[in-house]
Structure 1
């Protein structure tokens, strides 16, 4: 378990920390790498680019701390509008598997030894994570779905992802260093 997890999760609820992250151009740019925006219109260009590159998407309106009925109702309304917006996107894929199976990269070794073809399973990766690897998998004929989050609750989402495992914190810090 990540020993920093309790501290990171406590920071996730801090509006002051979120404001600090948002105000600093360096960290704000890193946030944009992992979250497609705060409003429903912001993910559309990102979604179009991902679809045009042969990747599929799973768009999520973030709601890390939805505990009140009014917030839940607003999320439902957002999702209804999001569905309409996504219907307008032209996806290059004409057939989406009815049953989706998420395969971890470690399972690829098992799949390589079997008689499975690239279309028999689906890779899932996070937006902003290992873009060249995503493109390589698609170029090899694999089906890949990118989890594309957006919404005003991005800060809680990112902090939870960082708290999940120490490697995520290291990845975030590397992304900061790359921006310098």
Structure 2
């Protein structure tokens, strides 16, 4: 019931206007969203880079329903990459891409061609692309697209979600030299048949997957805000003799900023996942719909600096 209410709210333009105008809501949006435009996202990126962090830009808009919207998303990414290059940020700012935003649900070939164009622009700009994970039903198609893209753009990264039962196997396949893998817990509502349901089981899977990636020859990107899992990742890196330049931590914009600073001060690469764009409202509400427990998480993040 709660999930259905959130999803209905995500499509309400009236509620969007109310949220945007409420003082408390404005604070939440500013805390977690870099802005509506690429220019605002680059201003936020520059501030993060000045604090010793690196960035992954995520243009919001996963609800692409038409080819025209998919083309617009592709062109927006191309424009953003040009701005990253012109700003001299290519070595510290990359982009994250949801294939659904590029039309994957309409035409997988079209989404691949759009992703290829973005990867080519990223390579020309001197940076890289990571393909985001979405619902489990799209995982095979996304990983197939990844393998095709990596033939010409080997720096293209993948995202694997530890709560999916299949992910240990995917980690083994993607832990080879040159492979970049962002490991996160996962945020979509998934059935028990494909995903672990308890927090403990998800955490255990995360650690098993982390061990596979840290012991492999690829480049692990550890995406979590969980202090215990961060500590385990630091320990696993030492155990497998990885230097701080052979893996990185990733945290979301506005979440545990003092922890981001602490990790960076320890010599770690810390990449901030920075969402921006006109579709911020649907993004925030759908994240709550996917996992209503995120409501409490957002509230804690708003009231805590650690």
TM-score calculated relative to the size of structure 2: 0.52
2-structure distance, mates of 1:15, 1:133: 35
- Further displaced range: 23-32 or 113-122: 113-122
SS in 1 for 2:221: coil
Q: Deviations over 1:140-163 (max 9, x none)?
A: 011111111111111111112223
- The residue that corresponds to 1:64 in the other structure is 62
- The residue that corresponds to 1:14 in the other structure is 12
2-structure distance, mates of 1:177, 1:117: 34
Against the structure 1 CA distance between its residues 147 and 51, is the aligned structure 2 distance closer, same or farther, given a 3 Å change threshold?
same
Q: How many residues align?
A: 176
TM-score calculated relative to the size of structure 1: 0.84
- Tell me if structure 2 keeps the 8 A contact 1:54–1:92: no
- The residue that corresponds to 2:279 in the other structure is 153
SS in 1 for 2:39: coil
* Unaligned ranges ≥5, structure 2: 93-125, 129-154, 156-178, 181-219
- Further displaced range: 121-130 or 68-77: 68-77
- The residue that corresponds to 1:128 in the other structure is 254
* Unaligned ranges ≥5, structure 1: none
Higher relative contact order, chain-length normalized (CA < 8 Å, sep 6+): 1
Q: 1:43-122, aligned counterparts within 5 Å?
A: 43-91=41-89, 98=155, 99-100=179-180, 101-105=220-224, 106=229, 107-108=232-233, 109-122=235-248
